[in-house]
């Protein structure tokens, strides 16, 4: 009798194999890789633009910019200072990046020229939670224009992330969004989740984000 293997299990098994290859590559070249995830419009690209402007002269940063149909985000990051160290990935409709896509990009990347690699995932809090990309850590971004119950609606993403960035704090008070509730909801799922509050528009909190990145690199993780 032939064994029947669910398609999802087979896909994830192959993804995990390729993710291990990517992780080994990052480790061999001492590159810290972060998988930046959020729902659409939370501010991933804006945060990366500000990060390039603040740290680009001190830290060698590369960016893999995932998008469903365009290279708009990659173009923004190139203009913000990423230059030739920005690699766009257009999924053609897929709701997430996978390790196969990352390995294809890495064939063209000289990892010895990088200290830090951001993987900007497709805007989605569901599918990307299941796909390991070889990253050191997932960083989940949420904005104050969303519901503070997002962690409860998408628990897998918050459970598998090491840091939650709460962006657009300059808009606090314009809705019923509560910082206390969103942090409480997130930590009810992942008690060890770190939290940083930012506003890419005003710059408030970005120093804490930058310090967190520097600390991560200094720790040699």
In degrees and rounded to multiples of 5, residue 129 shows phi and psi of -65, -25
What was the pLDDT predicted at 130? 92
CA distance 70 to 75: 10
- Specify whether the CB–CB gap between 143 and 159 falls below 8 A: no
Handedness of CA 158, 173, 209, 183 (dihedral sign): negative
**Per-position pLDDT tens, the chain of length 221:** 455 546 466 778 999 999 999 999 999 999 999 999 999 999 999 999 999 999 999 999 999 999 988 899 999 999 999 999 999 999 988 899 999 999 999 999 999 999 999 999 999 999 999 999 999 999 999 999 999 999 999 999 999 999 999 999 999 999 999 999 999 999 999 999 999 999 999 999 999 999 999 999 998 76
**Model confidence, pTM:** 0.93
- Specify whether the CB–CB gap between 158 and 189 falls below 8 A: yes
What was the pLDDT predicted at 12? 86
What was the pLDDT predicted at 1? 46
What was the pLDDT predicted at 4? 52
**Domains in the chain, CATH or no CATH each:** 10-218 (3.40.50.300)
What was the pLDDT predicted at 11? 72
CA distance 124 to 39: 5
């Amino acid at each position: 009798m032939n064994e029947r293997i669910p398609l999802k299990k087979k896909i994830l098994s192959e993804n995990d194999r390729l993710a291990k290859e990517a992780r080994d590559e990052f480790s061999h070249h001492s590159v810290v890789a972060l998988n930046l995830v959020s729902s659409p419009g939370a501010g991933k690209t804006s945060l990366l633009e500000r990060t390039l402007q603040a740290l680009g002269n001190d830290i060698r940063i590369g960016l893999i910019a995932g998008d469903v149909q365009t290279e708009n985000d990659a173009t923004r990051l190139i203009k913000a200072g990423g230059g030739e160290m920005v690699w766009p990935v257009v999924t053609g409709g897929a709701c997430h990046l996978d390790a196969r896509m990352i390995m294809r990009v890495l064939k063209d990347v000289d990892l010895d020229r990088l200290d830090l690699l951001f993987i900007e995932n497709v805007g989605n809090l569901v599918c990307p939670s299941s796909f390991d990309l070889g990253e050191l850590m997932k960083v989940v971004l949420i904005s104050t224009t969303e519901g503070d119950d997002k962690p409860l609606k998408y628990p897998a993403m918050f459970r598998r992330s090491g840091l939650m960035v709460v962006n657009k704090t300059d808009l606090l008070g314009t809705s019923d969004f509560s910082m206390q509730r969103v942090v409480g909801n997130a930590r009810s799922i992942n008690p060890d989740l770190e939290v940083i509050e930012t506003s890419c528009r005003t710059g408030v909190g970005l120093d804490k984000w930058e310090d967190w990145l520097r600390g991560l690199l200094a720790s040699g993780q």
